[in-house]
Structure 1
């Protein structure tokens, strides 16, 4: 008799980025036309040299970085996040409202585990971040899609119609993954009011906040004195300081929420990796100007992508911002088939929209996600040139 597996796990989609990488098997790319990989939104360079030197010094001289630490994170890092959030959002956040996690995905898993039980419902705007949907499926929760339409900004009134007695949370990502869009402050406030009126958690993932094109606070949620009765904010240090391999994220929420989160974290990882936490703290204290330069470069790449798309015949840019562009292709074939063909015909690896929506949503078949942050201006020009050269039957 074969081993019986967890039905919720087997019902969960395969990791999309890993699936896409398998499309490269058996395909060769000549030196004069190397692969352009825009499938994953992760820095491909190591942390800047001063941060690496600081990390190496910590490894040598501080024995604590090799030991267990507090489950909810390094106290100094929690305090630094609270102080910088107070300044950035013009609100009030205390260290007791901050937890450090082993990456932002763990923060999401912990938050959902605290606010929802098996069989409950969580509202996700589509196109959604696939790891959010994957975790909900693994946990035996029902994902309730909230279509966003052409503007790719979710509508609170449309969400209101989806709330049922089993709804436990609404999840938003801004700047958005996969679509790049930056949600207006008024939209976030309206979702806060909706969640509060129904006793729901509003989970806002701001992994890409450091690359928002707007100046000043992107929203005023933390200016609300009672923000922590509803809001759970998630963050990642991976993109800001190139710490992807060190897995450091954060959650900002009510102390009573974090008391329950502590149980989850203690069971899963015991504590976040000490070296990564110290690196994040050093980065927050010392790399402000460097991070501003990184943001400037990402915004320049965004502008190059946006202007270049205007010249592509039949292609339509639906959303752009931070690390991502989300586009509609002009071809008759489905985006999942097209994405595979682009590997062979164009030397391009990207993800189809079918990975970001339910199987019965026809929009995904027309859409593609482009993680452009890792290609420079010349790379973007070459990428757009290759897209423009792709041929095939078009939609009528």
Structure 2
């Protein structure tokens, strides 16, 4: 049968190919996928079990249960990230998908750092947009001037990822601020993937959501709480963008699993 052009354009995840290969080995040192070495917090496990037994197994509002959204909003505020709206998603990948689909379409461009997390390029292509990379070599920190030169009338969004996957580099505050303000000046959205923000050694990661309104900030419990298989992510940002992401979620992911949302309230 005939397949859609969009799926013919995207490639299967190289990370998953290596992950599947490692599963066939007896004692591999598996560096292919972002799975923390520690276990899920006991409080989260017990809360999920309790929610299931209490019958909290049905649909939730598309943006998430109110208690969790309140906790997420407070968490962002404590980190100095001002925002107008928050939502719960099916993992950070769900938030990335919804944000890119809400911001970019055919004829648009999405700027992504090189090297990049595998999903960025493929999600831009799926949205019908063109992924345009910006260089971070040799020290894996981008030059804001190079990014500014790549912004055109077609640029819909710039993806910022610090701490970076796969390099682990933490981008300095002045670099992140410069990128965010340059994007704001051109009316371009910033998608800030901050899933690894709890993994750093020296300089603490800085969020562009602290300095500009045009930022969709994405995080999850996959890395910080080792809940990779639970698929619990969240995003905050301008209401006009988050509201559209919620609308898309109604017709795609519907909502993050309810027991997992109650578990997240205890993390």
Q: When the two structures are superposed, what TM-score results if normalisation uses the length of structure 2?
A: 0.93
Q: Deviations over 1:99-139 (max 9, x none)?
A: 11011011011111111111210111100110111111222
Q: Is the 8 A contact 2:46 2:263 kept in 1?
A: no
The answer to whether 1:54 aligns with 2:52 is: no
- Residue 105 of structure 2 aligns with which residue? 117
SS in 2 for 1:100: strand
- Residue 66 of structure 1 aligns with which residue? 57
Deviation at 1:17, TM superposition (A): 2.1
Where do residues 1-396 of structure 1 align in structure 2 (5 Å cutoff)? 3-24=1-22, 29=26, 34-43=27-36, 46-61=39-54, 63=55, 65-89=56-80, 91-93=81-83, 96-214=84-202, 218-219=205-206, 221-224=208-211, 227-228=212-213, 230-283=214-267
5+ unaligned residues in a row in structure 1: which ranges? 284-396
SS in 1 for 2:15: helix
SS in 1 for 2:11: coil
Deviation at 1:148, TM superposition (A): 1.1
Counterpart CA distance in 2 for 1:48 and 1:57 is 14
Q: Deviations over 1:215-241 (max 9, x none)?
A: 76x3364444xx32x111111111112
5+ unaligned residues in a row in structure 2: which ranges? none
Counterpart CA distance in 1 for 2:60 and 2:142 is 39
Of structures 1 and 2, the one with the larger relative CO (CA 8 A, separation 6+) is 2
Counterpart CA distance in 1 for 2:21 and 2:40 is 29
Counterpart CA distance in 2 for 1:199 and 1:21 is 39
Counterpart CA distance in 1 for 2:250 and 2:51 is 24
Q: Is the 8 A contact 2:19 2:33 kept in 1?
A: no
Residues 215/60 of structure 1: CA separation in 2 closer, same or farther (3 Å cut): farther
Deviation at 1:253, TM superposition (A): 0.8
Counterpart CA distance in 2 for 1:162 and 1:123 is 8
Q: Deviations over 1:299-340 (max 9, x none)?
A: xxxxxxxxxxxxxxxxxxxxxxxxxxxxxxxxxxxxxxxxxx
Deviation at 1:54, TM superposition (A): 2.5
Bigger fraction of residues in helix = 1
**Structure exhibiting the larger radius of gyration computed from Cα positions:** 1
Q: When the two structures are superposed, what TM-score results if normalisation uses the length of structure 1?
A: 0.64
Residues 149/215 of structure 1: CA separation in 2 closer, same or farther (3 Å cut): closer
Matched length: 267
Q: Is the 8 A contact 1:123 1:170 kept in 2?
A: yes
Residues 36/274 of structure 1: CA separation in 2 closer, same or farther (3 Å cut): same
Q: Is the 8 A contact 2:196 2:223 kept in 1?
A: yes
